[in-house]
């Protein structure tokens, strides 16, 4: 993924704004700062999860299973809750099963359906990983006060609502 390491200077954006009157300098600066920050955070989390042989996608599925209201989920429930396709979930579940994190087994009432659950080994491994994970999250946000964290959540929710209102957002759901 290509990223911008150094954000453009205000003067460069001002020059572009003279050529393209639609350019709102503050919006562009805000968007670029957001994207740069998101890239940095993803990079940090990728390194963190890699220590455990996990990816963000695999970790997401594990957390869905940890927080499921029952001891199992179906693959289609995993896909829906994670907001990804069934094909994506199948690949992630294949890897998690190979690595001993989950097991898949047929539904007793309908053998065409599969259930997915955490293994006992996965629960033990998560008991070691999660404290470190939560410490990392706290460190990532350590520069913010509790009030700033709440404000950031609110602002990001507004940004997300704006993004989902765009016509291109329909493509995100496929």
174 exposure class (CB count in 10 Å sphere: 0-12, 13-18, 19+): exposed
Residue 69 is predicted with a pLDDT of 84
C-beta neighbour count of 102 within 10 angstroms: 24
| Residue ranges covered by each domain of the chain | 56-144
Give the number of C-alpha atoms closer than 13 A to the C-alpha of residue 35, restricted to the C-beta side. 13
Average pLDDT of the residues in 109-122 = 91
pLDDT value, residue 135: 98
Taking residues 118-122, report their average pLDDT: 96
Interval 65-98: pLDDT, tens: 999 988 899 999 999 999 999 999 999 999 999 9
Q: What is the pTM of this model?
A: 0.82
Residue 174 has pLDDT above 50, yes or no: no
> CATH 1.10.10.10: does it fit domain 56-144?
yes
Two tokens at 33?
A: 């700062």
Question: What's residue 77's pLDDT?
Answer: 94
Name the band, by pLDDT with cuts 50, 70 and 90, for residue 122: very high
| pLDDT band, very low/low/confident/very high, at 108 (cuts 50, 70, 90) | confident
Tell me the torsion sign for CA atoms 84, 138, 43, 12: positive
């Amino acid at each position: 993924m290509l990223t911008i390491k150094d954000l453009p200077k205000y003067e460069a954006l001002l020059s572009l704004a003279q050529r393209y009157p639609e350019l709102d300098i503050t919006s562009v600066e805000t968007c670029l700062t957001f994207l740069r920050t998101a890239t940095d955070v993803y990079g940090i989390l990728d390194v963190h999860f890699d220590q455990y042989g996990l990816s963000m996608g695999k970790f997401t599925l594990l957390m869905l299973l940890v927080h499921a209201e029952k001891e199992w989920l179906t693959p289609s429930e995993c896909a829906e809750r994670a907001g990804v396709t069934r094909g994506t979930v199948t690949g992630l579940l294949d890897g998690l099963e190979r690595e001993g994190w989950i097991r898949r087994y047929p539904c007793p009432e309908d053998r065409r359906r599969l259930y997915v659950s955490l293994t006992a080994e996965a629960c033990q491994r998560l008991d070691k990983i999660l404290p470190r994970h939560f410490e990392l999250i706290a460190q990532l946000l350590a520069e913010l006060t509790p009030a700033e964290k709440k404000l950031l959540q609110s602002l990001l929710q507004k940004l997300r609502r704006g993004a989902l209102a765009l016509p291109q957002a329909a493509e995100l759901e496929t």
